[in-house]
Amino acid sequence: MTFLSRWLRLQPGEGSRAGWMVLYSLAAVGGVIITGSLVGRALFLSALPAEAIPYKYLLPPLVLIVVSALYARLAARWSRPRLIYIVCVLSAVGILSTRWLLSVESHSFTLLCGLYVFIDVISALVILQFWTFAGDLFTAREARRVFPLITAGSTLSNLVFGLGLSAVASSVDPGDLLLIMVGSLVVIAGVTVRLAPETISASTDNESRQSRPPSRIDLRTHPLLPTIAGLVLLVTIISNIADYQLDLALQRHYGDDGRGMLAFLGSFRFWSGLGACALQFLVARRLLERFGVGAGLLLLPVAIAGGSMAILLTGGALWAVSVPRGSDVVLKYTIHDASLNLLFLPIPDSLRASAKAWIDGILRPPVAAALALMFLWVGPETTPQAWAIPVLVLVMVWMWLGRRAARLYVESLARSLQLRRLDLTNVPLRLTDTSTISVIRKALDTDDTLKVTQAIGWIEQMGADAWTDELTVLARHADAGVRRAALHALADADLVQDEQVTQTLRRALQDQDAAVRRAAVDGLGELTDVLIGDLRQATQDTAAQVRYSALQALARHGDTDALQQLELRLHDAGPERPLALAALAGGGHLTGTQLQQWFEGDDIPLLQAALEALPAQGPTPWKRLAQLLLVPELRGHARDALRRCAQHAPDELVALCHDANLPARHRAQLVRLFGEIDHDHVFAALLELAMTPHNRVRGAAVSALLNRRRHFRVEPIDSDTVDTGLTTEIGAAEVRHSQVQQLGEGDDGLLIEALEQRRSQSLDRALMWCDLGHEQLAHRRLTDSLRGNDRRRRGAALELLDEVLEHDHASRLLPLLEDGHPSLQGDAAAVLQDLATSQDTWLRAGAIRAIGQRQQQQLTPLVEVALRDEEPRVREAAIEAVILLSPLTSVAAMDDLLADADYVEQNPLCQRFSAPTPAGARAMPLSTFEKVFFLRSVELFSPLTGEEIAALAEIVEERELAAGEKFITRGDEGDCLWVVVEGQARVDLITQERHVGPREVIGELAIIAHRPRSADCFADTAMLLLHIDQVAFWELLETRQEIAMQIMKVLVERYVPAEG
């Protein structure tokens, strides 16, 4: 980044575009608008009487209406660059023709009026095209930085062209100055050729032909457009009045002295330009960045109001009459135009250009024409003082509209993000309308069992009372899953007193599928003698689950024999003990206190039964439940039990959330569970948890607060709490950003990646706090916009944050989101020393490993401490660091530990010290970090971060196969996937054969889609593979949803054909 870019605070890629647009602005405003208006005014006023002045305000708007209507139609059909070229060519031809006519007849009323009208129309089109083209080049966020800069061309135009025209006024005929306009039009066309490929929304002919000019209804459908139109009309009225006041004063002062008048106007433009330069470079950017659009819209009306007061106080002195017009020159083309055109950016691309043309060309001219008729009616005898009073009244309306526009601008930015995202979170589900019922009936008649089962689920939601006939038919369906779902629906709807339903359930007791028979047992309601006989027969069923369900139903009915059987089997240490426990607890025959003893063992099926049976109220083993949450096979059952019990004792779950002895990831899970509870204490407790020092727990609490606000009625969070939360997260992100920059390059990048991920997480939590404190800043929409590839959406999101947040927060948060934070240089060793003692396990391991990779010999004591770390991953990183540091120094602690047999057994990487790997041989076993880098090279896992792959590496097992060995059989259940490390496998499909080599995956669809194997697989050569078990893989995906999302994206891209 160059010094100039840094001084102007431009982001990479903005400087070139901004520079070319400054040149465009200089040519458009100085070469076309200022030169044309000064020359046209001087020729008109010096050659025609005062009675003709109103015509210069009346005729241009009338012509502009026709031209703008035509332009709006062309804008809907042609690309922006093509329109600019056409306007430049036609304008240049018209100017050259007019210059020739002036040499023939210089005092013709028709010619001079025509010249003034022609220049006014050209000026309107040129400035319209300038701002719409700028809107295509820059996002809303870029525009806030760049728009005040590109209007510098307008400011410099007043200086350069004002001084130049003033200097040559006495020696050059005014008509000859029209050639400057032709040269400026050539410059405009050249800049457009250079920048056309860089527009955000490529407006090709085919795309633009699909749009249409906006109607009055189109403008009214966007809430911001009527306010913009009101501002434009007020600016038109007040600017024309100020201009008319100056015309009256000039003619009274100079009479027919055209050259003297041109000299004054040139000086006036110069001094106005000087003031505009000071404002442009010292105030405008900082004002917009600090206070936003609202402040930028208020400066011009305040200045004009001051000038009008000066006219009243001085009796219409020429200098006082020049103040309102001077304010217009100084402010309109600088900060006011930049602010006003920022208002257009949240408006959709398809509407923006045509709407601007419609406002400027269709709405504004009639107002200007009506004002001109008023000038003509009142006559030139009216003094400038008489116009000052209505100007003051209009300025008050203008200021009110400016404040309203600033508010609507923020709302429109938020709306522009919402319109681009389909959000169904608040859409009610209606299943009882005629069309939905028709869809359900069609689904029930299909051969697709998945659709039929889903339709039964819908029936359960809407009430199965009206679907008895359909469900009884489905209870005899060919698919066991459908039969089971139909029986559950009949039971849940309490239809078991219906004779038809009862007979259906009784028939199902003889079903071949055990799960269907159990569903029939569970569905029976009040037991009659006939049903009791059926259940007693079911107690002899071959399937244990059916037997125990029947015993539970009989015991609940009061059958003492069934109860005794269950109690006996509960004390029998056989495999059916968990079923007996579940039946007794489910039937209400065990109290919460009696259940406590069954949580003490480690029998997984028994613990599952105890967790399912644990009542919501009563004694709860909270600590034990938290421990069971760490067991993969019990995690889901423990989570359900915690959610159920916490509903009645939320404070106990809060205590677990604060328990530092639990791993942070599982504490975060507890926090998310806690957020789902409908209890008055939850909200305050989540706010407290949102302030804890641990990042992961804090993030879970803030996320839970957001989710709670969507589903429950909650009190607003006070601004001090939001400020504290936002400051904490921004500070955390700044620390990580600083650490990344100070570390620079020097290792394999895992540590840098982890720090950047932590920074991203802090920023995400900061955006959550933005949502909690400001309803316009919806977290989901902001993150979608900031992470997507749409530059315009990203810019709108950043601009929205800048408008809504307080300046202190915005000035710190936005540079982090834009990667525009100032660069820092520091001591990498100090950063590593700090991270090596972090509570974050992955950062600690990464820092220890980086000490070895960066050869930081002075930090060896930290490596020695890490060798005895309680976390295996940190110990492994320390052993790698010792190996990397060994050429420089010896680590005495490592020698002592190698003599400890238990330590060597717990840390397999120690084998590399006792038996160094020969050159070219395979180093076994692979370390976690070696697995990370290998798995990262596999396409299926390539989107994952190093930390996510490390979690995957924990469930990876290394397997070696001999050549010819078969490791997958077609038709078998897909219970694992394989990743080839070395060697080659042969995959025998039914119709073809293919070979698989290193870094390729075998069997991913079978374990993800739960499908049977579709091929036989053999080892062509001796192979080394990584084996990932299906159960462990799904447990990982359940607890680490971010991993699941990335893997699913890869599979979708690989197997789902792209549209079109």
- Give the tens place of pLDDT for each residue, 364-386: 778 878 887 887 788 777 777 78
How far is residue 724's CA from residue 729's CA, in Å, rounded to a whole number? 9
CA 780 to chain centre: 6
Alpha carbons within 13 angstroms on the beta-carbon side of residue 286 total 7
pLDDT in tens, 674-687: 888 888 788 888 89
925 preceded by cis ω (within 30°)?
A: yes
pLDDT in tens, 280-330: 556 656 666 667 777 778 877 888 888 788 888 887 777 777 777 777 766
Tell me, what's the pLDDT at 1052?
63
* Domain ranges, ordered by start, for the chain: 3-201+213-419, 718-826, 827-916, 928-1055
Tell me the DSSP string of 405-441: HHHHHHHHHHHHHHHTS---TTPPP--SSHHHHHHHH
Q: What is the number of other CB atoms lying within 10 angstroms of the CB of residue 1010?
A: 12
First to last CA, the chain: 41
Task: Flag whether pLDDT at 166 surpasses 70.
Answer: no
Residue with the larger pLDDT of the pair 265 and 803:
803
Task: Flag whether pLDDT at 673 surpasses 90.
Answer: no
Which is nearest to 111 in space by CA: 125, 96, 98?
98
CATH placement of domain 827-916: 1.25.10
How far is residue 937's CA from residue 249's CA, in Å, rounded to a whole number? 78
Decide whether 3-201+213-419 matches 928-1055 in CATH topology.
no
How far is residue 299's CA from residue 310's CA, in Å, rounded to a whole number? 17
Among the residue ranges 118-132, 456-470, 796-810, the one predicted with the least confidence is 456-470
Tell me, what's the pLDDT at 261?
67
For the residues 417-434, what does the mean pLDDT come to? 48
For the residues 3-14, what does the mean pLDDT come to? 66
Tell me, what's the pLDDT at 121?
87
How far is residue 407's CA from residue 804's CA, in Å, rounded to a whole number? 10
Tell me the DSSP string of 731-778: HHHHHHHHHHHHH-SSS-SHHHHHHHHHHHHHHHHHHHHHHHH-TT--
Tell me, what's the pLDDT at 420?
46
Task: Flag whether pLDDT at 217 surpasses 50.
Answer: no
Task: Flag whether pLDDT at 765 surpasses 90.
Answer: yes
Residue with the larger pLDDT of the pair 534 and 84:
84
1019 DSSP β-pair partners: 985
pLDDT in tens, 257-268: 656 666 776 666
Among the residue ranges 203-217, 931-945, 988-1002, the one predicted with the least confidence is 203-217
Contact at 8 Å (CB) between 412 and 347?
Answer: yes
How far is residue 643's CA from residue 677's CA, in Å, rounded to a whole number? 7
Task: Report residue 981: phi and psi, to 5°.
Answer: -95, -50
Q: What is the DSSP letter of 493?
A: T
Task: Report residue 423: phi and psi, to 5°.
Answer: -115, 110
**CATH topology for the 3-201+213-419 domain:** Growth Hormone; Chain: A; (1.20.1250)
Helix (H) or strand (E) holding 518: helix 514-523
Contact at 8 Å (CB) between 990 and 1016?
Answer: no
pLDDT in tens, 844-862: 999 999 999 998 889 999 9
Among the residue ranges 382-391, 637-646, 1043-1052, the one predicted with the least confidence is 1043-1052
For the residues 181-206, what does the mean pLDDT come to? 76
pLDDT in tens, 266-276: 666 666 656 65
Tell me, what's the pLDDT at 176?
76
Among the residue ranges 389-403, 615-629, 736-750, the one predicted with the least confidence is 615-629
Tell me, what's the pLDDT at 156?
72
pLDDT in tens, 229-246: 888 888 888 888 887 777
CA torsion, ordered 920, 926, 927, 929, to nearest 10 deg: 80
Q: Which CATH number fits domain 928-1055: 3.30.420.130, 2.60.120.10, 3.40.50.300, 2.40.30.170?
A: 2.60.120.10
Task: Flag whether pLDDT at 421 surpasses 50.
Answer: no
Burial class (CB in 10 A: 0-12, 13-18, 19+), 446: exposed
Task: Flag whether pLDDT at 878 surpasses 70.
Answer: yes
| Cα three-residue angle 969-975-979, rounded to 5 degrees | 80
**The pTM of the whole model exceeds 0.85:** no
Task: Report residue 1038: phi and psi, to 5°.
Answer: -70, -40
Tell me, what's the pLDDT at 208?
40
Helix axes 650-657, 635-646, angle to 10 degrees: 130
Tell me, what's the pLDDT at 286?
66
Q: Tell me the pLDDT of the chain averaged across its residues.
A: 79
CA 214 to chain centre: 30
How far is residue 492's CA from residue 489's CA, in Å, rounded to a whole number? 5
978 DSSP β-pair partners: 1002, 1027
For the residues 326-335, what does the mean pLDDT come to? 68
For the residues 895-916, what does the mean pLDDT come to? 80
From residue 203, alpha-carbon distances to 13, 565, 830 in Å are 21, 80, 52
Q: Is the dihedral of CA 236, 241, 242, 246 positive or negative?
A: positive
pLDDT band per the 50, 70, 90 thresholds, residue 831? very high
Q: Which residues contact 717 (CB under 8 A, 6 or more apart)?
A: 687, 705, 772, 773
For the residues 121-145, what does the mean pLDDT come to? 82
How far is residue 491's CA from residue 471's CA, in Å, rounded to a whole number? 11
Tell me, what's the pLDDT at 427?
41
Q: Which residues contact 716 (CB under 8 A, 6 or more apart)?
A: none
How far is residue 54's CA from residue 43's CA, in Å, rounded to a whole number? 15
Helix (H) or strand (E) holding 724: helix 719-743
Contact at 8 Å (CB) between 365 and 65?
Answer: yes
Buried (b) or exposed (e) across 871-907, using 16+ Cβ within 10 A? ebbbbbbbbbbbbbbeeeeebebbeebeeeeeebeeb
Q: What is the DSSP letter of 1059?
A: P
Secondary structure class of 994 (helix, strand, coil): strand
Helix axes 791-804, 384-419, angle to 10 degrees: 120
How far is residue 852's CA from residue 866's CA, in Å, rounded to a whole number? 12
Q: Which residues contact 578 (CB under 8 A, 6 or more apart)?
A: 603, 605, 606, 608, 609
Report which listed range, 191-200, 299-308, 726-735, is most confident.
Answer: 726-735
pLDDT band per the 50, 70, 90 thresholds, residue 759? very high
pLDDT in tens, 390-404: 888 998 998 898 888
For the residues 596-612, what does the mean pLDDT come to? 80
Among the residue ranges 588-602, 870-884, 1033-1047, the one predicted with the least confidence is 1033-1047
From residue 790, alpha-carbon distances to 10, 417, 607 in Å are 20, 11, 51
Which is nearest to 812 in space by CA: 935, 909, 729?
729
Residue with the larger pLDDT of the pair 103 and 1025:
1025
Tell me, what's the pLDDT at 748?
75
Report which listed range, 459-468, 553-562, 827-836, 894-903, is most confident.
Answer: 827-836
Contact at 8 Å (CB) between 449 and 479?
Answer: yes
Structure tokens at 997: 């080599």
Helix (H) or strand (E) holding 1017: strand 1016-1019
pLDDT band per the 50, 70, 90 thresholds, residue 729? very high
Tell me, what's the pLDDT at 428?
44
CA 394 to chain centre: 41
Q: Which residues contact 217 (CB under 8 A, 6 or more apart)?
A: none
